[in-house]
Structure 1
Amino acid sequence: MSAMIHVEVVYALPQRQERVELRLPEGATVRDAVEASGLLAKYPDIELERKNKLGVYAKLVKADAALHDRDRVEIYRPLIADPKAVRKKRADEGKVMKKGGGPAEEQV
């Protein structure tokens, strides 16, 4: 009998997080876990080949990366805007920023 590993697949949405726990055969890949989770059928906007990136514990990985017992596979949503471009635009407009991204209070 082949050894089994326990993995978790998560997909964060703006209002909630989907989390699916799975048992897969040893040697399973990130793609195997995502497909077995059922999230692709539940959320047709997930496109592994073009749009969504994948990670294991916040480290980007390819879909064919092998999984280990107790890994957490994360499906990342694409960014709406490039953070660097947004910061550059704000700097060009002369807006003062405080740590945390909100507008800074003007000092007298």
Structure 2
Amino acid sequence: MLLKISLVYSPAPRQVREWVLEVAAGTSIAQTLAQCRIFEEFPELQIGRLSVGVWGRKTTPGHLLHDKDRVEIYRGLRVDPKVARRERFNRQGVKRAGLFAKRRDGGKAGY
């Protein structure tokens, strides 16, 4: 029995590469990646250090696939989200962010 699998990888922001594969029942994520030959196209990926998931839930490369699964390969974060938010807030300034973005005439800040 063949399973239809979708494999998705985003090599850079706003770029998505998708493969639609048919694999045999009982195939693992690692076997699917080898069959897809993604490592030839993206040599920076390494099977041992790969972060993968199925439908947004993180899992291991040994996970067995089911029909119509969507396998996702995750990139590492370049910047800590808390640091990025703090820097964005500092660039925008206090008066343009959060509670202070909208203000009624004659009203107090944040109300």
TM range (shorter): 0.7 to 0.9
Distance 1:85 1:28 in 2: 40
Q: TM-score, normalised by structure 2?
A: 0.73
Task: Return the offset for 1:36.
Answer: 1.4
The SS at the match of 2:48 is coil
**RMSD over aligned Cα atoms:** 2.8
What SS is found at the alignment partner of 1:80?
coil
How far off its partner does 1:17 sit?
0.9
Percent identity reads 27
Give deviations 1:49-100, integer Å, cap 9, x for gaps: 22x3100000000000000011010001111012245457789xxx65539x
Structure 2: distance between partners of 1:98 and 1:30 = 42
Unaligned 5+ segments in structure 1 are: none
- Amino acid paired to 1:98: G
Deviation at 1:35, TM superposition (A): 1.6
SS of residue paired to 1:49: helix
Q: Tell me the CA shift for residue 8 of structure 1.
A: 0.9
* Pairwise CA distance, 1:45: 1.2
TM-score (norm 1): 0.74
Matched, 1:65 2:59: no
Code of the aligned partner of 2:20:
E
User: Hey, what's the Cα distance between the residues in 1 that align with 2:62 and 2:98?
Assistant: 41
* Structure (1/2) with the larger helix percentage: 2
1:16 paired residue number? 15
Task: Give the aligned partner of residue 105 of structure 1.
Answer: 101
How is 1:1-108 mapped onto 2 (pairs within 5 angstroms)?
3-13=1-11, 14-50=13-49, 52-87=50-85, 96=94, 97-98=97-98, 105=101, 108=109
Distance 1:17 1:38 in 2: 16
- In the TM superposition, what is the alpha-carbon distance from 1:105 to its structure 2 partner? 3.4
Q: Considering only CA atoms, is the larger Rg found in Structure 1 or Structure 2?
A: 2
Aligned length: 100
